[in-house]
Amino acid sequence: MSYRLLSSNIINTEWSAILKLQNFPNSNHIPNFFLLNRVWCCSNNYNNLEMEDLDPTKLIVINDQRSLDRKISAIRNAGPSKLQVIADFDATLTRYWVNGLRGQSSHGLLKQGNPEYDAKRQALFEYYHPLEFSPAIPLEEKTKLMEEWWGKTHGLLIEGGLTYDAIKSSVANSNIAFRDGVVELFELLEEKDVPVLIFSAGLADIIEEVLRQKVHRYFKNIKIVSNQMVFDDSGRLVSFKGKLIHSLNKNEHALDMATPLHDQTGGIDGAVADNASVKQRTNVLLLGDHTGDLGMSDGLNYENRISVGFLNGYEDINLPRILQIHRKT
């Protein structure tokens, strides 16, 4: 059974809770995807959650209603000038299921045009992906495994001769789509001058291409922190730029790697908030689907953080761990 969860400080669901956050004074824009169907309060006690009673399509679980209400009030009173949004990309901004099939990630959709290397990357996925979600592997050991996986995958992309044309073709033929309401959310945040940091262990160039092909527009308030490719003059991948980002080392110390979205011609259009000013925004809405995403706001001296998460079918593994982390923070 798959359901989605809302917690005041660690994890919640879809965009329903954002309704209260975005209802700033003088704001008349309330998108219909913020409608809330049902709320379950579990009062900091996971053992009291009767799993069979949960509606997998309409449920929001709030771990601490009082804390959530306090944070919503504080964020509303401070206004949009103090808010920033930090979001994972794969299975957070994008759908976990697309047309009845598992939605592809920014790594998973990529076809190099070289079947041998596509098969090698798939073999790495089949070996490492179960390890990523295994509760039996200590964090330190798992972090090393993720570094191995990402490093080997990036090496295969270079060795196999990936081109930017292959990226454009892969995105055009991919099974990837944004969750309902994401584009409207981006538009609302842009209107309110709220910066959005897309923080992904995927591939920055593919994320930009997905936005170009699926959204068909540029957002001046969005920056990306992800693994950046370097291409030669012929459009062939030759290296990766900056620190390797995998699922367990995401934190905003990597903010210096953040790059703004480019417009259709490859240039940067309009003013973009500098990193120093973003760090002055002390209210954070954090969106993710992995326990490692909780580190995306590390390095920020925030006053209020509401973290929104998507269990995406891993509730039996992640929910107890997430609530345990919550009680320690």
Which active-site residues does the annotation give? 88, 90
What span, in angstroms and rounded, lies between the C-alpha atoms of 245 and 251?
Answer: 9
Is the CB of residue 8 less than 8 Å from the CB of residue 61? no
Q: Please list the alpha-helical segments (H only) found in 54-200.
A: 65-78, 115-132, 139-159, 164-172, 182-191
Task: Name the 3-class secondary structure at 34.
Answer: helix
What span, in angstroms and rounded, lies between the C-alpha atoms of 118 and 58?
Answer: 38
What span, in angstroms and rounded, lies between the C-alpha atoms of 127 and 137?
Answer: 14
First-to-final CA distance of the chain: 28
10 Å CB burial of residue 208 (0-12, 13-18, 19+) is buried
The number of residues in the chain equals 329
What span, in angstroms and rounded, lies between the C-alpha atoms of 178 and 243?
Answer: 27
In terms of Cα–Cα distance, which of 86, 90, 131 is closest to 287?
86
In terms of Cα–Cα distance, which of 203, 193, 206, 198 is closest to 182?
198
In terms of Cα–Cα distance, which of 82, 68, 91 is closest to 16?
68
